[in-house]
Amino acid sequence: MDEKIAKILVIEDEEDVRESYLDMFEFFGYEVDSAPNGREGVVKVTNNDYEIVITDLNMPEMDGIEVLKMVKKNKPYIEVIVITGYATLENAIKAMKIGAYDYFTKPIDLELVKIVLSKCIQSIKARKENEELKTLNQKLTELNELKDKFITVTNHELRTPLTVLKGYLDLIDMFLPEDSDKDLIEALNISKETMKEMVTIIEHLHDLSFFDYGKKNYTKNEFVLTELLQTIYNEMKVLFKNRQIKFNFTLEGDPVKVVGDQERLKRSLRELLQNALKFTNENGEVNLIYAANNRGKNVFVKVIDSGIGIPVDKQDMIFEPFYEVQNSIHHTTSKVDFMGGGIGLGLTLAKQVIESHDGQIVVESELNKGSIFTVVLPFKNSIKN
Ligand code: ADP
């Protein structure tokens, strides 16, 4: 609403005074209308859209207090300013108590009117913006609920056919004679690999809906972090070898024990390595580094790759659900290929898991040079203690 086009209704029984008020408000740039008494004023309020009603308090027929009550009852968003003489100031105070925005005393001070009207318009504007924000917020909440519902339902609906498919693939695998056609065996292996990828996606969706609903049912245990990292390294090194990417595991500092959900932390750390694998070219290098300092309280796990890097302005976004820097159409479907499959959930979940362990995940990256993902976790004690 523009201050210039705010519409004011003036209710005043004395014609000369009314005309002078109209001139004054018009002079200040407002659109004005008038009524000679309270009753007509109330009818006009019902039939028109005004932002402000300015009414004399002392009028025959229907006085300003009655007008104020009627306006606030029918159109509470209209601001009402009352006009009174010094002798009847207590009426103005009464009006304020029942919802008037402000009052003017006669004779009206031009400067004061200008300031009060401008303040009033600002407050109407702020209220309208606030209402719009509330509506938008409500819509966002609804959309978010819809998204949660979609994820949960999709996840549930996909699980059953996938379980059936997996069961049949396992059966075929079991009964396929060893001397079968090479192409047939390869086709089966590809189907099994693809099945695994689909299962991972479903697990991600499942975890995401779990987190969104705040049910993080963790199984927390005490374990030695270096042992977990060693297991991850052993499990994944063949994937790097297949892509001719150098993969090193370095220990800097003594092993420490952390308390947490080992399985979830393992998945989160694997996610970082999986990304390093996916976004690094053949002949590149990936380093998994464990760094602990006995005097400190935190242990650091770094995944450093010499891959494609992430533009600075996208580095915050990559932790948002379903966000991918590259156009996903160009991705291959396999999770081990260069720029391979994914749906932009890995880092979201990894971050949630790590933060639920009072840890942090930080990214540093330079385009075409590589990325460093650092996981910081609090540790319980050194295993030497
Ligand atoms: P996705 O499963 O699609 O990889 P993530 O949540 O794990 O989803 O990652 C989100 C996006 O962040 C990726 O699609 C990629 O664009 C970018 N990204 C993550 N890790 C790296 C990395 N090591 N190097 C370059 N880009 C990365």
pLDDT at 3: 47
Provide the H-helix boundaries in the chain. 15-27, 38-47, 64-74, 89-97, 110-175, 182-212, 225-242, 262-278, 346-356
Beta strands across the sheet bearing 370-378? 246-252, 285-292, 298-305, 370-378, 360-366
Q: What is the pLDDT of residue 77?
A: 92
User: Rounded to an integer, what distance in angstroms lies between the CA atom of residue 80 and that of residue 60?
Assistant: 19
Q: What separation in Å is there between the alpha carbon of 245 and the centre of ligand 1?
A: 18
d(CA 103, CA 81): 5
Q: Is the CB of 274 under 6 A from ligand 1?
A: no
Distance (Å) of CA 365 to CA 110, 121, 245, 288, 310 = 62, 49, 19, 16, 6
pLDDT of amino acid 75: 94
Q: What is the pLDDT of residue 124?
A: 92
How far apart are the CA of 299 and the centre of ligand 1, in A? 24
Query: Atom 25, ligand 1: which residue's CA is nearest?
Result: 309
Distance CA 308, CA 125 (A): 49
| Mutation test residue for ligand 1: of 267, 269, 275, the one with most atoms within 8 Å of CB | 275
The residues, any chain, with a CB within 8 Å of residue 284's CB and separated by 6 or more, are 245, 246, 305, 306, 307, 370
Could you tell me whether strands 79-84 and 52-56 are parallel, antiparallel, or unpaired per DSSP bridges?
parallel
Place of tokens 């300031």: 115
pLDDT per residue of the chain (385 residues) written in tens, 0 to 9: 544 578 999 999 999 999 999 999 999 899 999 999 999 999 999 999 999 999 999 998 899 999 999 999 999 999 999 999 877 788 889 999 999 999 999 888 889 999 999 999 999 999 999 999 999 999 998 888 888 778 877 877 888 888 889 999 999 999 999 899 999 999 999 999 888 888 888 888 877 776 655 556 778 899 999 999 999 999 999 999 999 999 999 999 999 999 999 989 999 999 999 999 999 999 999 999 999 987 778 999 999 999 999 999 999 999 998 888 876 555 556 666 777 767 788 899 899 999 999 999 999 999 999 999 999 999 887 665 4
Alpha carbon of 12 to ligand 1 centroid (Å): 69
**Measured between alpha carbons, how far is 294 from 274 in angstroms, rounded to an integer?**
29
Question: Which atom of ligand 1 sits closest to the CA of residue 319?
Answer: 6
| pLDDT score of 330 | 53
What is the structure's pLDDT at 296?
79
Cβ contacts of 201 within 8 Å, gap of 6 or more: 343, 345
Record the tokens describing residue 276, joined without a space. 């390093």
345 lines ligand 1 (CB under 6 A): yes
Say what the pTM is. 0.64
Separation CA 60–CA 70 (nearest Å): 16
- Closest listed residue to residue 260, CA positions, set 359, 348, 347: 359
Cα–ligand 1 centroid distance for 279 (angstroms): 8
Q: What would the two tokens of residue 273 be?
A: 């390595």
Question: Which structural domains are found in the chain, ordered by start?
Answer: 3-108 (3.40.50.2300), 140-212 (1.10.287), 221-382 (3.30.565.10)
Sheet holding 31-35, edge to edge: 31-35, 7-11, 52-56, 79-84, 102-105
Rounded distance between C-alpha atoms, residue 383 and residue 255, angstroms: 6
The predicted structure's pLDDT at residue 383: 61
Ligand 1 atom at minimal distance to the Cα of residue 323: 10
Which residue owns the Cα nearest ligand 1 atom 2? Answer: 342
Using the mean position of ligand 1's atoms as its centre, give its distance from the Cα of residue 326 in Å.
Answer: 8
Tell me the C-alpha distance between 51 and 75, whole Å.
10
